Amino acid sequence: MYRRPRFLEILIGIREEMAREADFDVDLFVENVRTGRRSSRPAGKYSMTTDEPKRKTSKPQKPSKSK
Protein backbone atom coordinates (compact mmCIF):
# COMPACT_ATOMS: atom_id res chain seq x y z
CA MET A 1 0.00 0.00 0.00
CA TYR A 2 0.99 3.61 -0.10
CA ARG A 3 2.18 5.69 2.84
CA ARG A 4 -0.20 8.34 4.21
CA PRO A 5 0.93 11.95 4.02
CA ARG A 6 1.93 13.45 7.36
CA PHE A 7 -0.98 15.90 7.16
CA LEU A 8 -3.50 13.04 7.08
CA GLU A 9 -1.79 11.30 10.01
CA ILE A 10 -2.06 14.46 12.11
CA LEU A 11 -5.65 15.09 10.99
CA ILE A 12 -6.73 11.54 11.86
CA GLY A 13 -5.07 11.88 15.28
CA ILE A 14 -6.93 15.14 15.95
CA ARG A 15 -10.25 13.60 14.89
CA GLU A 16 -9.69 10.59 17.18
CA GLU A 17 -8.94 12.88 20.13
CA MET A 18 -12.01 15.01 19.43
CA ALA A 19 -14.18 11.87 19.25
CA ARG A 20 -12.87 10.66 22.64
CA GLU A 21 -13.56 14.09 24.19
CA ALA A 22 -17.08 14.15 22.73
CA ASP A 23 -17.77 10.67 24.10
CA PHE A 24 -16.56 11.76 27.55
CA ASP A 25 -18.73 14.90 27.43
CA VAL A 26 -21.82 12.89 26.47
CA ASP A 27 -21.17 10.36 29.24
CA LEU A 28 -20.71 13.17 31.77
CA PHE A 29 -23.92 14.88 30.62
CA VAL A 30 -25.90 11.64 30.88
CA GLU A 31 -24.54 10.99 34.37
CA ASN A 32 -25.45 14.52 35.48
CA VAL A 33 -28.97 14.19 34.09
CA ARG A 34 -29.45 10.78 35.67
CA THR A 35 -28.31 11.92 39.12
CA GLY A 36 -29.94 15.35 38.92
CA ARG A 37 -26.67 17.17 39.56
CA ARG A 38 -26.11 20.65 38.25
CA SER A 39 -22.82 21.92 36.98
CA SER A 40 -20.65 23.50 39.68
CA ARG A 41 -19.25 26.08 37.29
CA PRO A 42 -21.22 29.27 36.73
CA ALA A 43 -23.28 29.67 33.59
CA GLY A 44 -21.10 31.35 31.04
CA LYS A 45 -21.46 33.34 27.90
CA TYR A 46 -22.36 30.31 25.79
CA SER A 47 -24.50 28.51 28.34
CA MET A 48 -27.93 27.32 27.23
CA THR A 49 -29.41 27.56 30.71
CA THR A 50 -29.00 30.18 33.41
CA ASP A 51 -30.45 30.60 36.86
CA GLU A 52 -30.89 34.33 36.47
CA PRO A 53 -31.92 36.42 33.48
CA LYS A 54 -29.12 37.80 31.38
CA ARG A 55 -28.20 41.36 32.19
CA LYS A 56 -27.79 43.89 29.47
CA THR A 57 -24.38 45.42 29.59
CA SER A 58 -23.90 48.85 28.18
CA LYS A 59 -20.78 49.57 26.21
CA PRO A 60 -18.78 52.58 27.31
CA GLN A 61 -19.54 55.57 25.15
CA LYS A 62 -16.79 56.89 22.95
CA PRO A 63 -15.76 60.42 23.84
CA SER A 64 -17.06 62.89 21.31
CA LYS A 65 -14.60 65.03 19.47
CA SER A 66 -14.95 68.68 20.37
CA LYS A 67 -14.14 71.35 17.79
E strand map for 1-67: none
| pLDDT attached to residue 46 | 55
Whole-angstrom distance, CA of residue 43 vs CA of residue 40: 9
In the chain, where the domains are located: 1-38
Q: Is the pLDDT of residue 2 over 60?
A: yes
3-state helix vs strand vs coil in the chain, percent to 5: 45, 0, 55
| pLDDT attached to residue 53 | 52
- Give residue-wise pLDDT tens across range 10-52: 999 999 999 999 999 999 999 999 998 876 665 555 555 655 5
| pLDDT attached to residue 61 | 63
pTM assigned to the model? 0.47
